[in-house]
Structure 1
């Protein structure tokens, strides 16, 4: 019984997977993180833990084993009970239980199970295809000129010296200056408006010419090829065996061609929420058929393949 593989499959979709009479593996979502000293960016993930106190059989793991191995529920329960007795015996003898892509279990001095999680897989499907990366440190430089400007920037008041002047003449010239400034401002605003209007008209003309050129380049074909009718069998089903996700669509197209050459009904099923192009080996309407195919693909092709349950138009 490939118990760790069954647990691993369920951890992608559930936050708690219980091994009856043994304990439970728990997951908790962790946000993306940045390491302060190394400037490394880590994508969001599910952190793993183990709780020996949660041993009540919720039927999740046994039903999954029964579905995959095509055996009755009672038979799956008996097989799992035998495996649990064997696991407890190994721990009692001081051995370490290693669950692939999950972690290691050992007994401590108080005969309690200690869990050391594995970090080889990220069980958060939303972050599928994302990996850590290191960014150079961001340095900020403040120029001396900016500091000087902030220091000497002041509002200079307008003052009138206490000289004897002709009050009437002063206000007369001041009124003329205000009118002149208003006329100049009006003219400047008109000039700015005319420039904006000119730029808008020129932009519209350029867009019109560009659209015309694009249409001619796209749709005017001097020697068209004869029409070809293709009969395509559209795949259907909500169970999709994921082969990978790619940031560049060209790479996803290459992967589809590669899998199709190997005999798979591969196709692209669109982007995930991170903008990555997802490629699947095939899609199935039956859950049983999907997981049977998944087991074969993991043994012969890709051990990291997994089943995405999603309705796709």
Structure 2
């Protein structure tokens, strides 16, 4: 199985994607950069790094593969293990492991790993549509040289003559220059505003398409359940970490699953409906990542081994 695309897809939404038994790919947001030597402006981006010490299975990658490939969670774990074995054999042979759209990894010793990220993919969704911009340099010295050369070839000689009163021409020329500059700056401001509006429209369209693709690759349709009518209280607190019990195309099925979790003693929640109409159901939501991870391990060992962690 080629898990490169699955890892790449998860890096758009998560800060850490762990490959069980191998290591974890981490992302960090980097602000816009200016390369002074090349006069190049780089947009904000997610920088990918690798940590070989994080190897525990947090279930994120296996759950994602299980949903997208339509296989069981155990089969996904087995497939990941087979890929990791092939990767380690290649690294032990001192070959370079190339992971598409992510980076290259080399193993110099058991304690020395070298990771070189590939920068042709920007995993920061808010920067879609933005590319590097190279500003042309201003060549003031060259223009000065040309003027000096022209003065040497054709020197300017002033000859005395009678002065006439052309003061009215001064004011007329000043008026023409003022209105000309006003029109030029007004047109430039209109042109710049139009360009900015077009760029914002393109960025918004690309972001919407990417979000739809990500959600289509994550959510799945569960078997329908009997209808149960329950009252739902809106939670106004901000809990960014959610332990997902299931995702349903039917809102009524989601309510039934929610009622079943409440009856079992969980602090269950109904998540907000996604853009493609899917209804997530959470075992519980947390403010801290550590609490959410501990609860996820407990739920997998006792109730549902296919539960997974969603981060807003």
Kindly name which structure, 1 or 2, has the bigger radius of gyration based on alpha carbons. Answer: 1
Bucket of the pairwise TM-score, normalised by the shorter protein = 0.3 to 0.5
TM-score (structure 2 length as normaliser) = 0.48
